[in-house]
Every structure is written in C-alpha cells, then in structure tokens.
C-alpha cells in the first residue's frame, strides 16, 4: 500500500480513482428515472423487446383470425384461399406456414403439410417450443409420431425414390427440433 | 498406467463431475444435451449483452461466470494466480473468434460433443473424428516449430486481472438484471437451470478444472503424446462414464443418427468445424473451456481468446453462421474454410525455421 | 520446377478432356408429347425451356410435340412420342391401355404433386351443400379434366345426385382457359355452380383476380395426383431414370439458355417442382373414374 502512495503523483491518481469510482456509484444510485429520453430507451431494451414480441403475437393473431375461424368451421379450402390472400401482403410469415401445414394435413396432403411445418419452424423456432403463444409442439409431435414410421418404411422399400427421401429428411428435421437443444 | 497420485484423482474427480453436472444441468433446465456448452453459453451471453439480435439466444449464463471466478479462487488459494501475457495478442483474439465459428458450425464445443455422444447422438462421430484430426494437426504444427511465444510474467500483476474483473461485472449484471441486459423469454436462451445452482456448479467445476488442468482437447492431445500414462485420458474416461450413467439414469440416452436435439446431418462440415477447433486449441494451448480457466488464473493471452470468443459468439448469431438442425448455412461453411486458411497461414508465419547451413 | 510444369500440363489435359463428353447434339431424338391445356402456343412457351433443360441434363436430344387432349391417345398409340406430359386421368388411360410408365408428377400449388376438384357457388347464392345443387345450372370443365370434371362428377354421385338427371342444366365452356371461364361464369351469375379446380381458385386468388370471400366452396374432392410425366414401355430404363432424376432434382433457381436468355425452367413452365410418386398413389383417381364410368374403365 505504501508503495502505491509514495509520492504526490501516486496520491493524485489514487484521489482521481476514488473520486470517479464514488461519483459513478453515486450517479447510479441517485439517478432514478433521470437521464435523457434516448438513454432511458437504451436502458429499457428488455422492455422494448418484450413489448415488440407481445405486439407481434397480437398482430399475427388478428391477421390470421379469419383463417382460423374458417378452419374451425370446417371450410378448409376457403381458409387456404384466405391464407393466399394474406400471403400476397405478408409473404414468408412463419405463422401462415404452420396454419397451412395444419389445414393441409386435415386434407390428407401429408407431404406438403410436412414441408409447410418445416418452413414455418425454420423461419421461427417459436413454433417448435413446448410452450409459448405460437407453440405448435403438440401438433408437430403428433405429425412426426404418426408419419415417421410409415415414411421410413416406404423409403426403405423404395430406396431410389428421391421424393420419399425428401419427406423423410423433413420429418427428421422436425423430430430434431422437437427434441430441443441449442439452435 | 499413470501413477495414482493426488493429481490423478483430482483429474478423475474433475472429469467425473464435469460429466455428471453436464448432464445434471440439462435435467435441471438447461437445453437438452447442452448442460455445459462453452460456445452455446458464449453465444447466449453475447446476445444478453446485445452483441446479436437472436431473441431466442440471450442469457448471461451463470456457469461461464462460475468457471472463470471459480478458477480465480482456486488459483488464488493455491498461489497460482500469475498475471502474464503479451504473446501474439491479436492472433489469440482472432483465434477466439474462429473457435466459436468452428463450434457454431458443429453446434457445440468439445465438451458438448461428448455430452451429445454420451446421450446417444451418433451424428457427432464425424465431429469427434474432426477434433482428433485437428489435435493431431496441431501437434504436428508444434513439432514443426510453430511457437507463438510464451506469455511474459507481468510483475505488476495488472493485465491478468481484467478478464476476471469483467466476469465479476457480468456477475453483478446477472444478479441485478438491469434493463439493457437482455434475457430470452423463449427458445434455448430461456431454458436454464436455477441461477444459483448454475453459478455454484460453475464455481465448483472452474475450481476443479484449475486444479486438475482438465480439458477435452488437452486429453486428446496428451493421449497422442503419452498414451495411457497421461492422467487426462482417465479424466476423460471418468467424464464419459459419468455422463453416460447420468443420461441412462435420467432416461436421456437415445442412440441414433436422426431426431437428435441440436444436431444436423452435414457430417463433412461437422468434421471440418471440429477440425478447426482441435487444430486451433492445440496451437493456442487449450479448448474454449480451458481458455476460460486460464483467463481465471491471470493469463491475459487466454483472456484475449475469451474476449474473441465472446465477439465470435455474437458474430456467429448475427451473421447466421451457426449450424442448425436444417444443416450448415453457406456463410458458415465459408467461415470454417476461412478459419482453416487462417490457421494454415499463421502456422506458416509463426513457424520458427532453422537457418539453412 | 519440373513438378510444377508436370502439374500444369496435367491440369491443361483435364480441362481439354472435360469438353469431350457426349453432347446432346449427337444420337437419336426423343419426342415428348405435351398435352395442350389452353393452346399450342401456350404449351410451347411453357415447356420449350424445360425440354431444352432435359436435353442438357440427360444428354440426349428431346423435341417437344404439343398435342390436343382428344388426339393424345391415338398419337401415342402411333408411337409419335416416347415421353408424355398429361393430366393424371390421361396418364391412367395410357397406363391402362398402353403400359405407360410413371416418371414424375408435377408440383403446383398448395397440394404439391396433388390437386383437388371443388364445386363453388357465389357467396350470396344460398347454395351451401351438395343437396342444394338439385335443379341448379352448373358449368363443368372439359370432360377429361380430373379436377374440373371427374372429381366433381364423382362427388355428386357419392352424395346421391345424378348430374345427368338432377341438375336443371349443365354445360362445358368452349375454347381456351375453360377453368377460369367457369369461375367467372359463377361470379357473374351466368351459372349457379361450377366445377372449379382447387388450383385455379388458388392461382386466381393469389393473382388478385378473385377474393376468397366471393365464393362458397360447396364441396371438395379428396386430393389426387396432378399432371404427370410418363414414358412409353419401350424406353430404355436407364434413360427413364436419368429423365426422372433431372426432373426431381430441378430447383426454382435452375436456368437454361433459351433464345439467348437465361430462363428459369420451373417458373417458365408454371411448375413448382416434380415429385416421384408411386403408381398406387393414383388409385384414388382410379376409384373416381370407375364410379363415374369414365375412361379407362368406361362401360357401355
């Protein structure tokens, strides 16, 4: 310690160190809601992020409500056409792919349903989460559990069929995403 | 066989606990097969600090903080904290970036490689082969005269403090959770074991790893050099046995190539990604985990690798270089090749050549 | 230095030799018969780039032959073409009567390599169910159109409605773009209901020509395979395999040099891709044809 305070140079620097450290601590402790608007917004990035996410959930649910209503009433083809209309304005939205996958599955278009689920999950991993506003984990799990054995068998008996291989790869992708892990 | 001295048992205990806790943390909430993954954790932490915008990968992982601070305590207690550094700083910094690229393309660091393998994920076999070949390349490089220069002792003890202090700051940020630190509410970033438990596990493993010098690539390297005589191979064996046992006990052992969590089928790129990690790790003296521990011992060179890894974690996510279950993206492949070119070029540049007569 | 010269020489030789593989300019010409959907001109515009692509990929010369639907079977019987591109009903007929082999199925629209037929009415017409069709004016697509005629005919028969007896009147439009015409015919009130292919509804909605809210989908058939490439039974199996691979591996990014321009093959052909289905996948359509007493199972 003595070595650090051996002359005026040392004492001056220790003084600056103490003053700046204490000053910074005091500012942090007393600042409260102070500071300019830009700084406040930076400090609230978590809030901004969470608000944007909630807004996205609400927006997408509103946007796709007519499709979901049609699907619920059994008007599946009409729901698919409505999806086309929405797709003209918002192409490449993952939620649309998930809904389309579900409707196509109901219409027995299994290969295309799988491809749509894959597209949706690739665009947004939220759909493969077990929980959350957009979780489609259960329906994807049911799809994989039901279709994987049959497509594995078909691919085994038709080893040169590239289309079956493609569906099988898609099912394995979904299976892997359902299993979790880091992305 | 090695001498069954105290150090041997410390290595075995460190390896065993790493396997046990590695699986245990996943059981307690960390992502599947990612109970401990240095690269994933660094990507999460980079996201929490705002270095990338993937909202599913943002969490200041307490384990990372624990590793460094655990190593600090252990080194201080054993009078092994020596501030040192100054050897090829920029090379080490960039090596940290490329380590993360290799890990990102493979989806995991060498520890996670074995955690995945011990959970039955057979897609890692190509990555394992890549790691072994990479370590062998690195050893050939060292034997061929590549020498980055030894870190100089820093008698004033300043430079080696900064990375531990940075992680101390991260600990405060983790505990205080100010609004500018981001935490995922979904995705793998939102999956975590209880904070204090993770921190305690990190501190324990950090301390043990500092005592034992245990690391995965070090085990492979020393096995090449000394065969069964190195204690590290027994540490690795203990790690594998503990992880397999815990996975079996927890019902998490699912052998196969398909449907594995956080895995892809681009075997060639898994191989190359891990080759890059193995090669670089030997040249800079340790895998990502070991770099954290050395940084905690006051090694500023390792500290620079850690800072490079943190930046790399941000870049891997921000630039979309990381592999996913869908495979390895184009730019991830390019980045791995650039990384291999980087190692090859530096191997040429840093080689000490004997003057021809 | 000697080694470097040797390596450069080897490299030069391999570059020169790489140009020596067989090109599509030699060997026999194989004709592909394309069924006209709307007009011969449209067929040529759509499929000429695809035919050029196949020549380049397969390494043999292909020539396209646009064929009217009614003439297709006769001309195939006369061996005018080795490969065929037809709708799935014509594929069934040629397979049943002339042992046509399945090569690949075209992907287009939301059902991929499959499609469906729908019966539509105007939203404000009050026609909601198949039972409401009795006594109504209906417009169908061409008789050999699986998703514009057969599927709807079968739907009605299964629901106990005889199109020949229970409708007040039905018609088939003339000329090109029949499917679009019948959708507009319902939209503008010329007919009460129409047999519309699901694909046409989808495409017209996507293009903004109609709105999903304009129509009521009264009924929809199960899905069945879409347009199909086939090969005559005498075609070399290896050639057929290469032909199929070239189709199945086609991606939206693949281009071909056509009339001095790089043309996207799939986009030009209005196709999303090709799938390798199994012949058993066509059984659902066979069932429809049998129930509707349509070729190739027609009994008089």
Among C112, C197, B260, which Cα is nearest to A114's? C112
Among C293, C246, C203, which Cα is nearest to C60's? C246
Write the residue in A78, A88, A109 that is nearest to C217 by C-beta: A78
Write the residue in A122, A172, A183 that is nearest to B187 by C-beta: A183
- Give residue C15's pLDDT: 46
CB contact under 8 A, C245 and A164: no
A157 three-state secondary structure: helix
Q: Binning pLDDT at 50, 70 and 90, where does residue A2 land? A: low
Among C292, C39, C271, C259, which Cα is nearest to C143's? C292
B/C touch flag: 3 or more CB pairs below 8 Å:
no
A 1-40: CB under 8 A from C:
none
C111 touches A at CB < 8 Å: yes
* Residue A85, in any domain of the structure: yes
With contact defined as 3+ CB pairs under 8 Å, the chains touching A are B, C
Q: State the Cα–Cα distance between residues C148 and C146, nearest whole angstrom.
A: 6
Which residues lie below 8 Å from residue A3, measured CB to CB, with a gap of 6+?
Answer: none
Condensed to tens digits (0 to 9), the pLDDT of residues A65-85 reads: 999 999 999 999 999 999 999
Q: Which tokens in the block code for residue B145?
A: 């005269």
CB contact under 8 A, A77 and C217: yes
Task: Give the residue on A whose Cα is nearest the Cα of B59.
Answer: A46
Write the residue in B108, B178, B265 that is nearest to A43 by C-beta: B178
Q: State the Cα–Cα distance between residues C300 and C297, nearest whole angstrom.
A: 10
Phi, psi of B306 (to 5 degrees): -60, -45
Which residues in chain C touch residue A84, judged by CB atoms under 8 angstroms apart?
Answer: 110, 202, 205-206, 212
Q: Which tokens in the block code for residue B41?
A: 């954790």
Write the residue in A49, A129, A173 that is nearest to B325 by C-beta: A173
What does the mean pLDDT of chain A come to?
90
- Give residue A39's pLDDT: 57
| Boundaries of domain holding B96 | 6-349
Write the residue in B34, B55, B180 that is nearest to A181 by C-beta: B34
Question: Which of the residues in chain B have pLDDT under 50?
Answer: 357
Task: Give the residue on B whose Cα is nearest the Cα of A47.
Answer: B179
Average pLDDT of span A34-50: 71
Cβ(B97)–Cβ(B312) under 8 Å? yes
Average pLDDT of span A35-39: 57
Q: State the Cα–Cα distance between residues A138 and A140, nearest whole angstrom.
A: 5
Which residues in chain A touch residue C202, judged by CB atoms under 8 angstroms apart?
Answer: 80-81, 84
Which residues lie below 8 Å from residue B317, measured CB to CB, with a gap of 6+?
Answer: B43, B46, B47, B52, B53, B54, B57
- Give residue B220's pLDDT: 95
Q: Are strands C114-115 and C255-258 parallel, antiparallel or unpaired?
A: unpaired
Q: Binning pLDDT at 50, 70 and 90, where does residue C104 land? A: very high
B85 three-state secondary structure: strand
B342 three-state secondary structure: helix
CA distances (Å), origin B170, targets B47, B164, B166, B180, B208: 13, 10, 6, 12, 21
* Residue A142, in any domain of the structure: yes
Name C162's bridge partners.
Answer: none
Nearest Cα of chain B lies from the Cα of A182 at a distance, in angstroms, of 5
* Residue B310, in any domain of the structure: yes
Condensed to tens digits (0 to 9), the pLDDT of residues A128-144 reads: 999 999 999 999 999 99
CA distances (Å), origin B303, targets B5, B64, B157, B193, B308: 31, 13, 14, 26, 9
Nearest Cα of chain B lies from the Cα of A116 at a distance, in angstroms, of 14
* Residue B357, in any domain of the structure: no
Which residues lie below 8 Å from residue B242, measured CB to CB, with a gap of 6+?
Answer: B15, B16, B17, B18, B19, B20, B23
Condensed to tens digits (0 to 9), the pLDDT of residues C163-189 reads: 999 999 999 988 767 788 999 999 999
SS percent in chain B: helix, strand, coil, step 5: 65, 5, 30
* Residue A163, in any domain of the structure: yes
CA distances (Å), origin B297, targets B71, B109, B235, C59, C280: 6, 21, 21, 65, 68
Average pLDDT of span A9-24: 89
Task: Give the residue on C whose Cα is nearest the Cα of A116.
Answer: C110
Task: Give the residue on A whose Cα is nearest the Cα of B41.
Answer: A182
CB contact under 8 A, A46 and B50: no
Angle between helices B125-143 and B267-284 (to 10 degrees): 30
Q: State the Cα–Cα distance between residues A54 and A156, nearest whole angstrom.
A: 45
- Give residue A10's pLDDT: 84
CB contact under 8 A, C111 and A112: yes
- Give residue C21's pLDDT: 44
B260 three-state secondary structure: coil
Q: State the Cα–Cα distance between residues C242 and C60, nearest whole angstrom.
A: 10
C283 touches A at CB < 8 Å: no
CB contact under 8 A, B326 and A44: no
Task: Give the residue on C whose Cα is nearest the Cα of A161.
Answer: C276
B183 touches A at CB < 8 Å: yes
Top pLDDT among A28 and B319 is at B319
Condensed to tens digits (0 to 9), the pLDDT of residues B324-353 reads: 999 999 999 999 999 999 999 999 998 887
- Give residue C249's pLDDT: 93
B253 touches A at CB < 8 Å: no
A100 touches C at CB < 8 Å: yes
A 128-167: CB under 8 A from C:
158, 160-164
Tokens 């082999």 identify what position?
Answer: C101
Q: Which tokens in the block code for residue C117?
A: 């037929």
Write the residue in A78, A88, A112 that is nearest to C110 by C-beta: A112
pLDDT at C20 exceeding the cut of 70: no
SS percent in chain A: helix, strand, coil, step 5: 80, 0, 20
Which residues in chain A touch residue B108, judged by CB atoms under 8 angstroms apart?
Answer: 182
* Residue A10, in any domain of the structure: no
CA distances (Å), origin A140, targets A69, A145, B254, C182: 21, 8, 20, 38
Nearest Cα of chain C lies from the Cα of A50 at a distance, in angstroms, of 34
Interface confidence (ipTM) of the complex: 0.89
Q: State the Cα–Cα distance between residues B13 and B235, nearest whole angstrom.
A: 7
- Give residue B126's pLDDT: 98
Condensed to tens digits (0 to 9), the pLDDT of residues C243-264 reads: 999 999 999 999 999 989 999 9
Among B26, B30, B69, B5, which Cα is nearest to B249's? B26
Percent of chain C whose pLDDT exceeds 90: 83
For B231-249, give the DSSP string. HHHHHHHHHHHHHHHHHHH
Write the residue in A75, A80, A164 that is nearest to C110 by C-beta: A80
Cα dihedral value A61, A81, A173, A52, nearest 10: -20
Report the domain count for chain B: 1
CB contact under 8 A, A176 and B107: no
Report the domain count for chain A: 1
With contact defined as 3+ CB pairs under 8 Å, the chains touching B are A
A35 touches B at CB < 8 Å: no
Q: Binning pLDDT at 50, 70 and 90, where does residue C17 land? A: very low
CATH class of the domain defined by C117-221? alpha beta
Q: State the Cα–Cα distance between residues B340 and B272, nearest whole angstrom.
A: 8
Task: Give the residue on B whose Cα is nearest the Cα of A171.
Answer: B259
CATH number for the segment(s) C25-108+226-291: 3.40.190.10
Top pLDDT among A25 and C115 is at C115
| Boundaries of domain holding A90 | 38-178
Which residues in chain C touch residue A107, judged by CB atoms under 8 angstroms apart?
Answer: 111, 116, 220, 223
SS3 of chain C: CHHHHHHHHHHHHHHHHHHHCCCCCCCCEEEEEEECCCCHHHHHHHHHHHHHHHHHHHCCEEEEEEECHHHHHHHHHCCCCCEEEECHHHHHHHHHHHCCEEEEEEECCCCCCEECEEEEEEHHHCCCCHHHHCCCEEECCCCCCHHHHHHHHHHHHHCCCCHHHHCCEEECCCCCCHHHHHHHHHHCCCCCEEEEEHHHHHHHHHCCCCCHHHEEEEEECCCEECCEEEECCCCCHHHHHHHHHHHHCCCCCCEEEECCEEEEHHHHCCCCEEECCCHHHHHHHHHHHHHCCCCCCCCC
Name A16's bridge partners.
Answer: none
User: Best interface-test mutation with C: which of A155, A162, A166, A169 has the largest number of C CBs within 10 A?
Assistant: A162
Among B235, B342, B323, which Cα is nearest to B284's? B342
Domain definitions of chain C by residue range: 25-108+226-291, 117-221
pLDDT at C11 exceeding the cut of 60: no
- Give residue A183's pLDDT: 74
Cβ(C181)–Cβ(C212) under 8 Å? no
* Residue B345, in any domain of the structure: yes
Which residues lie below 8 Å from residue A103, measured CB to CB, with a gap of 6+?
Answer: A71, A76, A79, A80, A83
Q: State the Cα–Cα distance between residues A175 and B85, nearest whole angstrom.
A: 47
| A-C contacts at Cβ under 8 angstroms | 66
Q: State the Cα–Cα distance between residues C265 and C255, nearest whole angstrom.
A: 5
Write the residue in A46, A125, A179 that is nearest to B261 by C-beta: A179
B/A touch flag: 3 or more CB pairs below 8 Å:
yes
Q: State the Cα–Cα distance between residues C218 and C122, nearest whole angstrom.
A: 10
- Give residue A37's pLDDT: 59
H or E element at residue B82:
none
Asked, colleague to colleague, whether C25-108+226-291 and C117-221 share their fold, the answer is yes
Cβ(B137)–Cβ(B64) under 8 Å? no
Q: State the Cα–Cα distance between residues B173 and B27, nearest whole angstrom.
A: 26
């Amino acid at each position: 310690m003595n070595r650090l305070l051996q002359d005026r140079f040392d004492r001056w620097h220790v003084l600056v160190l103490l003053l700046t450290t204490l000053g910074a601590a005091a500012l942090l402790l007393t600042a409260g809601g102070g500071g300019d608007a830009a700084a406040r917004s930076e400090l609230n990035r978590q809030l901004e992020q969470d608000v944007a996410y909630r807004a996205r959930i609400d927006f997408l649910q509103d946007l796709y409500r007519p499709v979901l209503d049609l699907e619920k009433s059994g008007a599946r083809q009409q729901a698919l056409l409505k999806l086309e209309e929405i797709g003209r304005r918002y192409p490449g939205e993952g939620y649309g792919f998930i809904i389309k996958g579900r409707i196509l599955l109901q219409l027995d278009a299994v290969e295309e349903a799988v491809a749509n689920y894959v597209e949706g999950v690739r665009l947004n991993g939220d759909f493969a989460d077990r929980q959350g506003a957009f979780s489609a984990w259960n329906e994807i799990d049911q799809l994989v559990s039901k279709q994987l054995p049959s497509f594995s068998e078909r691919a085994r008996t038709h080893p040169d069929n590239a289309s079956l291989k493609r569906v099988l790869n898609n099912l394995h992708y979904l299976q892997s995403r359902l299993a979790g892990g880091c992305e | 066989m090695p001498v069954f001295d105290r150090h041997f048992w410390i290595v075995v205990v460190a390896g065993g606990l790493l396997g046990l806790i590695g699986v245990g943390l996943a059981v307690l909430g960390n992502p599947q097969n990612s109970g401990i993954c240095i690269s994933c954790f660094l990507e999460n932490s980079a996201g929490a600090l705002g270095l990338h915008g993937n909202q599913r990968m943002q969490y200041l992982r307490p384990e990372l903080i624990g590793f460094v601070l655990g190593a600090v305590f252990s080194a201080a207690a054993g009078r092994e904290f020596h501030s040192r550094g100054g050897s090829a700083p920029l090379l080490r910094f960039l090596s940290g970036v490329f380590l993360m690229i290799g890990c990102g393309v493979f989806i995991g660091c060498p520890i996670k490689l074995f955690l995945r393998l011990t959970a039955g994920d057979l897609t890692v076999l190509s990555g394992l082969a890549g790691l072994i070949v990479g370590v062998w390349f690195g050893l050939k490089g060292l034997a061929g005269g590549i020498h980055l220069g030894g870190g100089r002792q820093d008698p004033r003890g300043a430079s080696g403090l900064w990375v531990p202090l940075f992680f101390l700051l991260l600990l405060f940020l983790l505990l205080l959770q100010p609004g500018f630190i981001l935490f995922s509410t979904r995705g793998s970033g939102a999956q975590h074991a209880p904070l204090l438990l993770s921190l305690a596990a990190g501190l324990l493993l950090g301390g043990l790893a500092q005592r034992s010098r245990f690391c995965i690539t070090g085990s492979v390297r020393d096995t090449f050099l000394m065969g069964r005589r190195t204690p590290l191979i027994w540490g690795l064996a203990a790690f594998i046995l503990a992880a397999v046992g815990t996975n079996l006990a927890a019902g998490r052992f699912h052998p196969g190539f398909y449907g594995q969590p956080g895995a892809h089928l681009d075997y060639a790129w898994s191989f190359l990604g891990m080759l890059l990690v193995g090669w670089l790790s030997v040249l800079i003296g340790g895998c990502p985990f070991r770099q954290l521990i050395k940084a905690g011992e006051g090694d500023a060179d390792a500290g620079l690798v850690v800072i490079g890894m943190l930046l790399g974690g941000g870049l891997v996510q921000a630039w979309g270089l990381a592999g996913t279950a869908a495979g390895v993206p184009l730019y991830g492949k390019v980045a791995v090749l650039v990384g291999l070119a980087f190692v090859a070029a530096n191997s040429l540049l840093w080689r000490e050549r004997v003057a021809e007569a | 230095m000697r080694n470097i010269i040797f390596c450069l020489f080897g490299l030069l030789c391999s570059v020169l030799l790489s140009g020596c593989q067989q090109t599509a300019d030699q060997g026999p010409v194989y004709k592909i018969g394309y069924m006209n959907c709307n007009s011969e001109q449209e067929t040529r515009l759509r499929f000429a780039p695809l035919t050029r692509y196949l020549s380049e990929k397969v390494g043999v010369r292909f020539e396209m032959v646009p064929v009217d639907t009614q003439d297709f079977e006769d001309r195939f019987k006369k061996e005018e073409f080795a490969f065929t591109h037809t709708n799935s009903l014509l594929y069934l007929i040629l397979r049943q009567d002339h042992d046509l082999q399945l090569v690949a199925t075209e992907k287009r629209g939301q059902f991929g390599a499959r499609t469906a037929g729908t019966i539509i009415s105007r939203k404000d017409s009050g026609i909601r169910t198949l039972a409401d069709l009795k006594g109504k004016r209906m417009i169908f697509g061409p008789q050999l159109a699986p998703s514009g005629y057969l599927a709807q005919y079968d739907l009605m028969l299964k629901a106990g409605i005889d199109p020949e007896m229970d409708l007040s009147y039905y018609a088939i439009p003339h000329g090109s773009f029949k499917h679009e015409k019948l959708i507009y015919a319902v939209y503008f009130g010329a007919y009460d209901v129409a047999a519309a292919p699901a694909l046409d509804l989808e495409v017209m909605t996507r293009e903004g020509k109609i709105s999903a809210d304009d129509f009521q989908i009264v009924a929809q058939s199960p899905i069945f395979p879409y347009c199909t490439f086939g090969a005559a039974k005498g075609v070399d199996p290896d050639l057929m395999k290469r032909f199929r691979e070239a189709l199945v591996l086609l991606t939206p990014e693949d281009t071909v040099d056509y009339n001095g321009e790089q043309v996207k093959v799939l986009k030009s052909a209005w196709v999303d891709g090709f799938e390798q289905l199994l012949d058993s996948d066509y059984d659902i359509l066979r069932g429809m044809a049998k129930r509707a007493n349509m070729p190739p199972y027609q009994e008089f």
